[in-house]
Structure 1
Amino acid sequence: MKPSKLYSNKPDTFAPVEFTPDLNVVLAEIRLPENLDRDTHNLGKTTLGRLLDFGFLAQRDHKFFLFKHIEVFGEFAFFLEIELTQGSYVTVRRSVEEATKIAFKKHAARHQDFTTLPDSEWDHVEVPFDRAKELLDSILDWRSLNPWHFRKGLGYFLRSQSDFGDVFQLGKFANKHADWKPFLAHILGFDAAIIARHYAKAEELENKQAKAATIRQEMGGDFEDASKIDGILLLKRQEVDKKQQLLDAFDFRTQDKADTKQVVDQVEERIAALNARRYSLMQNRKKIIASLEEDQILFDPEEAKAMFEEAGVLFADQVKKDFQQLIAFNKAITEERHGYLVEERAEVDAELKTINAELNSLGKRRSEMLSFLSATDSFAKYKRVSTEMVTLRADIDTLERQRDFVHRLQQLRTEIRTLAEEKLHLQTEIEANVEARSADEDSLFSSIRLYFNEIVEEVIDSKALLSVCVNQLGHLDFRAELLDDAGNATSADRGHSYKKLLCIAFDLAVLRAHLDERFPRFAYHDGVFESLDDRKKENLLAVIRRYAALGIQSIITLIDSDLPQRTTAEPVFAPDEIVLKLHDEGERGRLFKMKTW
């Protein structure tokens, strides 16, 4: 269950990479001074991980470099040799041009070359992509991942640079939490079936609530009471029955009497009341207008001054001033009254407009009823009643549809209550399961926690805590934190270098906890030493070597400037640990010995 060899049908361009079962180093040397300060060098150390993922049957993506540059890689076929648990091997052949047609070959010896092997000697050829994934899943037999497919958790053991941003949520897990949290809970030793059911129940509850909201919107918020609708339907149907009897008997005397009574008792009385009200309002309006006119001051002080001067009256200016003051005083007194009168006139005009409209409507209605009563042609009356029947039946149809909506809404409310209760019960089970597994020192989760802390503490001399809690929605929240001496979480884990360390520690801890099971036994970490100081690099390397001795294969990539500096001449890596050396002195130093694409 470890990558054993990666090669292609074009060895001059892509040379074979033979992996060991233990530590495998991909070292990129920056030999040109002008490249020392560059962040990326395009030598291929990151690309190697992508090719391993391609060999493990990653989904075809037009953004993937092989397909994005199909004109460059269209003729390539890649072969991934994988060591199985029982000591045998399987080689997966996958071409770029026909990436959905896969071939498989099982064999007993490692580091084979099947580039020229004819199709007749392969165990399976041109296997469709989906079937090929199922076939490889059965060959690898990572049964500890059941019921999930082998590719579900592969990202934890093929960490690309985009996967070091979060310990738990990989780059490919950018979609719903329901797609990855149950799986993560499973490999951590929790009851994933309960968690998956909880997510399914929550989704079903959201769908029911959305349907209920749609029904309420279609109903416009009216008639949510089925009893009220049933009562209105009863009255409408009774009216239909009466009119149907009239039509069947072709006798409109009953209808005539009913309309006559309605004209006398309702319409005429309403018209008389409205006329009386209109008369009263008209009189009131007339008085308001008269009052407004009376408030006008027609006296002109200038004219009064001239008249007094002609008469030879002394102190004409003083008289003018007194009249002006009197006018100002009078205006001040009447200004508020004038405003009230204008406002009252507006209200009277508005009410008169409403009354006139209603009188016009009632007059038209009275005319129609009297026309019906005075009609001598029975067919005209028959037509009139038939039209009313059509309107009534349309109303009944509308009410019946509305009643169906209300009944459906009531049913949904019952289902929503049931789902909410079931979701709450599942949340209680999840909380109990998390509490039990966390408290059990012999549980898988406790083992992973201990290994995780052991790795981090050995590398940076700081304790680390792996924890799982249930949030208010009943979903799991996973946390990986560094602790200070008092046991409190610190913000150190938010830095890129320490975040990467936590990711590496988590991957290795999970692999070690599952060593006795049918589970992957390799980890690929890109840029493993970036941003760490020399002492921490040496500590991390010691951890990786120790885990390799336990049977966990590590494939790490780094550039030579990230190597820890040593005072002795002893090299950091033994020659047999470096499986691939890259450099920036021309095309021959790259993973693909060609021009950059």
Structure 2
Amino acid sequence: MIHSITSSLKSFKSISLNSGLNLIVADKSENASDRQTRNGSGKSSLIRIIDFVLGSKCDADSIFRFDSLINEHFSMSFDLNGDRTTASRSGQEKSRMVVDGVYDDWPVKPKLHRDSGEERISVTNWRTVLGSQMFDLPDDTDSYSPTFRSLLSYFVRRDSSGGFQEAQKQSSKQQNWDVQVNLSFLLGLDWQISHELQLIRLKEKSLETLRREAKGGALGNLVGHVGELRTRLTVAERHVNKLKVELEGFEVLPEYRELEQEASTLAVQISELTNQNTLDREKIETLEKVLVEERPPLQSELAGMYREIGIILPELVTRQLNDVKEFHKAILKNRQLHLQGEVDDARSQISTREETMARLDVRRREILSTLAAHGALDQYTRLQEELSRQQATLEELRKKSELARQLESQSTELTIERAQIKKQLTTDLDDRAATLNEAIIIFEDFSQRISDHEGSLVIEPKDNGPEFSIVVEGKESKGIRNMQIFCFDMTLAVLWAKQDKSPGFLVHDSHLFDGMDSRQVGKALEIGAEQSAKHGFQYIVTLNSDQLEAAEFSPDFDAQRFRNPVAINDASDTGGLFGMRIH
């Protein structure tokens, strides 16, 4: 239980607490208007201090970092595993605790500060100590395991964290795995099942990310479908093997380029000689045609021509017609001899060229035969480079194929693991039926006593892990949800009061009773008083005075005897818990 809450702040109103029910009531000042509230009186600040001393975060917006409070220490004296312990903390030294208690069973011991003589421990180690002493948590838990802060938040809910929205969640930001792991622990189930399921979720998330990226994201060129990759891999292996065979049979010819150039030159020469022969054959054909068609003029033609000349130029016609005939014969014979000589020369050149062409062609064929059987060094180098590229592509495809197979295999394995997890969960719920039934009955009893029936606690094995829910017939209202939270938290407090180690207290803010009618508020406080006295835990409640005054209690229940004497009200400066305006 918590014995007292104090502070180095001189104006702070220290609070001493008793076992069982403790009502911290904020009064309305005599001069307050109807518009004034008690939201600044310090009810929620009391819960903040308890949470602060028990290792909560102290971010920049925390009230303990305000200028008026940052250098002040806030202390709490409480029972920790049966030993009286005092712990103090300030916003200025938010990462360190000053403690005084019995340290024999602590997993981490505080260290003596030489200058101040104080026993000090880091907030991180303080949480480890509290987890060990309140919930029997091991000091070397893995990720996604129960943590002291998550477990404690079901016993000290904070409205500012969204703790009064759902019974199953102590914060609006609490993730599903955290709910499953910590509630499984609190309700006596095998929390390792939820732990393993979260690890499966993380693997599934990674696989889904890979699949998504493979469809066009950053990994679009890294993975693909197994069937498609198998086909590409088979084709790539065939290409690589073919290139290997070509390289194994490749013979390098150092003079390859010179021979290739010579063969090209020979081909050009042969082509030119062929063209020249074609021209000479056309020439021969023309000359032979002239030789055949050309003849001397007839005698009648010469006689006629001479008569004409004699009339026109009589003095020139002095030679005999026979002489002219002989002259023409001589000219024609000389011309035919000349043309025949050209024909013979052309034929001779053609013959010479054909001999040259034959010789050149023989050499060209020899070169081509050599080139066909060998290759150039640069060709060999290019083949090697191509083989290296193809081998790199092949290796990449092999890796892709292996990765794709692993993805599909892991997906299948995770599906199997999920099924096994659900089977383990079902078995665990069956094996721990007695423990679950106790929690269900306690919750049911509280629910029926507060209001005829405002919900049943249901715990089911689902594909996504244990599901903790409260089933309500009809429409839920804020008042009904708050009653469910009360019943749920009170159930946990009763169950843990029976453990060897427990927090030993349950703290509820006045926000929990918003929306409840006066009869339900009365019933809830009566149940809290009864159960805390019966099971030996402390129930601390902050209330507005009008909530307490309006509450309908049983005739034999005197709420005033549980009221703490601390006087806090809505006075602007000194009425609140801090006795001053916080800024």
Indicate whether the TM-score tops 0.5: yes
Give me the whole-angstrom Cα distance separating, in 1, the residues matched to 2:557 and 2:39: 24
Identity of aligned residues (%): 17
**Within 5 A, what are the aligned runs for 1:416-565?**
416-437=411-432, 440=433, 443-462=434-453, 464-471=455-462, 473-482=463-472, 489-491=473-475, 494-517=476-499, 518-527=501-510, 528-550=512-534, 551-565=536-550
Evaluate the alpha carbon distance shift between residue 221 and residue 513 of structure 1 in structure 2; reply closer, same or farther with a 3 A threshold.
Answer: closer
> Normalising to structure 1: TM-score of the pair?
0.68
Aligned equivalents of 2:21 and 2:113: distance in 1? Answer: 33
**Secondary structure in structure 1 of the residue aligned to 2:3:** strand
Q: Pick closer, same or farther for the CA change 1:398–1:228 going to 2, 3 Å.
A: closer
- Once residues 513 and 175 of structure 2 are traced to their aligned partners in structure 1, the CA distance between those partners, rounded to angstroms, is 32
> CA distance change for structure 1 residues 567 and 537 in 2, over 3 Å: closer, same or farther?
closer
Letter in 2 for 1:526: D
- Stretches of structure 2 that go unaligned for 5 or more consecutive residues are 104-111, 261-366
Distance 1:79 1:221 in 2: 61
Q: Indicate yes or no: 2:68 matched with 1:72.
A: yes
| Cα distance, 1:552 vs structure 2 | 2.2
In structure 2, do the counterparts of structure 1 residues 593 and 34 end up closer, same or farther at CA, with 3 Å as the change threshold?
closer
The letter for the 1-side match of 2:422 is Q
Task: Mark the runs of 5 or more structure 1 residues left unpaired by the alignment.
Answer: 109-116, 257-371, 483-488
Deviation at 1:61, TM superposition (A): 1.9
The CA RMSD measured in Å over matched residues stands at 3.7
How far did residue 388 of structure 1 move? 4.7
With normalisation by structure 2, the TM-score equals 0.69
Paired with 1:23 and 1:543, the residues of 2 have a C-alpha distance of 10
1:130 is aligned to 2:124: yes
Moved more, 29-38 or 453-462: 29-38
For 2:545 and 2:385, how far apart are their aligned partners in 1? Answer: 89
In the alignment, does 2:140 pair up with 1:142? Answer: no
* Cα deviation, residue 245, structure 1: 4.5
Per the alignment, in what secondary structure is the counterpart of residue 89 of structure 1? strand
Contact kept in structure 2, 1:246 and 1:252, CA below 8 Å: no
Name the CA shift for 1:107/1:447 in 2 (closer, same or farther; >3 Å): same
Matches within 5 A, 1:98-247: 98-106=93-101, 124-125=119-120, 127-138=121-132, 140-143=133-136, 148-161=146-159, 162-171=162-171, 174-211=173-210, 214=213, 217-219=220-222, 221=224, 224-226=228-230, 228-243=232-247, 245-246=249-250
Q: How many Å apart are 1:374 and its aligned residue?
A: 13
Identify if the C-alpha distance between structure 1 residues 417 and 391 changes in structure 2 by more than 3 Å, giving closer, same or farther.
Answer: same
Change (3 A) 1:469 1:5: same
SS of the residue 1:587 aligns to: coil
Question: Partner of 2:309 in structure 1?
Answer: none
Deviation at 1:13, TM superposition (A): 2.1
Q: Is the 8 A contact 2:38 2:544 kept in 1?
A: no
Q: For the residues of structure 2 that align with 1:432 and 1:476, how far apart are their CA atoms?
A: 12
- Deviation string 1:282-303 (CA, Å, 9 cap, x unpaired) is xxxxxxxxxxxxxxxxxxxxxx
From the superposition, tell whether residues 41 and 208 of structure 1 become closer, same or farther in structure 2 (CA, over 3 Å).
closer
In 1, the alpha carbon distance for the partners of 2:31 and 2:556 equals 25
Q: How far is the alpha carbon of 1:26 from its aligned partner?
A: 1.4
Q: Check the 8 A contact 1:30/1:36 in 2, yes or no.
A: no
Deviations 1:189-241 (A, max 9, x none): 22222222122123223324433554563247477343651442233343244
Secondary structure (helix, strand or coil) at the match of 2:55 reads coil
Note the C-alpha offset of 1:454. Answer: 1.3
Letter in 1 for 2:484: L
Is this contact kept in 2: 1:522–1:554, CA < 8 A? yes
1:468, 1:478 within 8 Å by CA — same for their partners in 2?
yes
Over 3 Å counting, the alpha-carbon distance change for 1:211 and 1:553 in structure 2 is same
CA distance in 2: counterparts of 1:373 and 1:475, whole angstroms: 78
Q: Is the 8 A contact 1:226 1:407 kept in 2?
A: no
Q: Is the 8 A contact 1:100 1:128 kept in 2?
A: yes
Give distance in 2, aligned partners of 1:481 and 1:593.
Answer: 44
Alpha carbons of structure 1 residues 413 and 586: separation in structure 2 relative to 1, 3 Å: closer
> Does 2:17 align with 1:19?
yes
Per the alignment, residue 390 of structure 1 pairs with 385
1:31 maps to 29
Task: Report what 2:357 is aligned to.
Answer: none
Q: What residue number does 2:84 align with?
A: 89
SS at match of 2:25: strand
Letter in 2 for 1:234: R
Query: 2:478 is matched by which residue type in structure 1?
Result: H
What's the offset of the Cα at 1:547?
1.4
Alignment size in residue pairs = 452
Give 1 or 2 for the bigger CA radius of gyration: 2
Q: Tell me, in whole angstroms, the C-alpha distance in 1 between the residues paired with 2:61 and 2:444.
A: 37
